[in-house]
Structure 1
Amino acid sequence: MKKYTILLSIIFMLFGQGSRQLDSLALVALYNATNGVNWSDPWDFTQGIDTFSGVTLSSGRVTSVKLSSRGLNGSIPDSIRYLTEITNLWLQSNDLGGAIPAAIGNLNKLTSLRLYGNQLNGSIPPELGDLANLTLLWLYDNQLSGSIPPELGNLTKLTSLKLSSNQLNGAVPDELSTVTSLNILELQNNQLSDIGDFSFLGTLKLDQNNFEFDDLEPNLAIGSFTYSLQANIGEEETVYVDKGETARLHLDVGGSANTYQWFKGGVAISGATTDSLILSSVQESDGADYILTVSSTTVPSLTLNSFPIHLQISLGRQADSLVLVQLYNLLGGENWKKSWDFNKVLDSLEGVEIVNNRVSSLYLIDFNLSGPIPAELGQLD
């Protein structure tokens, strides 16, 4: 295929900026790259390209390629760039894989690009932002990843952008909010977070992403606006707290009218209705899984749930501290080369390794220890 692309490049130089011959060769490349012999309606190359099903010509040039649900299997070749008069490229609902070629950005007369319902992967090429006449860009239901390129904000004629059901992440670029011609923006079922004011839209779909209430509030006036089933907030974590100490659990959640409720082991905690939960003088019974649910008085029909926070009450850290004090005193700690300061937390003591809130290892090499090894070390179990 690389040799074929080089050949096309040479022919392109010979024929100039565009020709029917180049159109023909680009179609041959597309046919070969997508297993054309097994299409549901393969082309007959003994006939002219004006007989090819799904291909439309005007003044002898290819202006439209519509091959939806034809069984295309393979990848889109870079030589697609030579269809310089094309306005519609529809390859949806096939079995195409690989990346979207950046070369599509050369098709400056393209008004409609439909590649949805395939297995395309990689990132959305920023070169698509060069398609100055594009009004419709549908890339949904693929395996595209990475962020939405801000260059799409250059598509000043775009009316419909559908990127749902991919693996896109990061913020929705502010540049898109400057495309005032845009009417439909569908981003559901990705891992997107952070979006600005798109209230000029007619349709906005943000379901199944990582948005919070402050992302949704500016867009509530949109006539068709959906935002259900956002991902869990925060991160799943384990918090270790000594018995008798204070546990502080907190989550920051964006929104101007949030309401909160903490749960312990699936049961609502009475009075725990802020973004922080403070448990004083914790006991063993406080060890449990805690979850915060967040609703909003201005964003109806949505509740955000946190990942669980596993609170574990340590019964041994205080005992470990006492053993280390005894060790220090019995082995001449005041004369050690690397002295300990018990006014600081255990984690700061040189040579002491803490795992899961307990002393797990002691590395007291070249400390100038003196005296017999104390039996109290056996208490560091």
Structure 2
Amino acid sequence: MNGPFSPSPGLAALDERARDIFRRVVESYLATGEPVGSRTLSKGGVALSPASIRNTMQDLAQLGLLAAPHTSAGRIPTHTGLRLFVDGLLEIGDLSEDERREIDARLTGRGRGFQEALDEASNLLSGLAGGAGVVVSPVREAGVRHVEFVALGQGDQALAVIVYDDGEVENRLMPLSPGVTPSHLQAASNFLNARLRGKTLADAKAEVGKELDQARRELDAAAARLVEEGMAAWSGGGPEDRSLIVRGRANLLQDAEAVADLERVRSLFDDLEQKEQLITLLDGVREAQGVRIFIGAETRLFSLSGSSVVAAPYLTGRQKVVGAIGVIGPTRLNYARVIPMVDYTARVLSRMLDG
């Protein structure tokens, strides 16, 4: 569940009293969204005087774990503090059997196809988790069957055609440099067919990228340029070519009563429009074993809105990550509930791909 970097200080820097007060402050803030004062903790069961609690909270603030918003006497956790809490103190709940059955039914019921399931997963997460549900469509997994460059019109354009093992065909129109002949088109097609056939386009792109020097030696300049331009033309599941499903933006407005909160939500809405950046961020969970959490300024995309992302990958039966789902919302998400919900939803989608 770790984010991209480790906080400092760690829990080892806190004694038992500081750890208990820190945990209570964060839990109260996540439940209410309000700054937490020493009197609130004193009445809540901390067997210390308000003055002693204030002193400990001041120490936690000096460590960068708590902050005082505006002129409030209370404290809230910083992004560093939230990261420390999530990584070391959070007690993650589990979904009830009813919740699991609801997720199963909504994703797999009534003969729902996988694309429909992705759309429903975004709706489901936004409704149950109280943030915006986001889903990134899969990277194309089918292998390449055949590629071909076909000259069009007056010979100044070509169609770059790629046929996949699953029968899908992808065409891209590309300009042709002067002097390109049918033999150049055939040579480029032969070169790529020898290297792409049976591989996914993403894997093939990486392999051909390493062999471009060889292409320039084996082919003349015109055919080698066709190879490069053809590989650039086909999508291969890049962020610009994949769909991003976002549901539940209205949920983000529910608790945004203060002007500062409304400004933060407006900033988050702007962030959610940055499709390619958001897909790239969610693709970052590919190496994660399960759920990954990004808090506030840990991501450049959400540094201004100060939002959190809880995301998990979904995989094929061969355990290859092809996409990701998640929840985006304020840093005071109910992590204990959202984390198992995102995790289980991703597992259901993975089972559907395996089936």
Question: Is the structural similarity TM-score above 0.5?
Answer: no
Structure label with greater radius of gyration: 1
TM-score of the pair, normalised by structure 2: 0.20
More strand by share: 1
The structure showing larger relative contact order (alpha-carbon pairs under 8 Å, at least 6 residues apart) is: 2
Normalising by structure 1, report the TM-score: 0.19
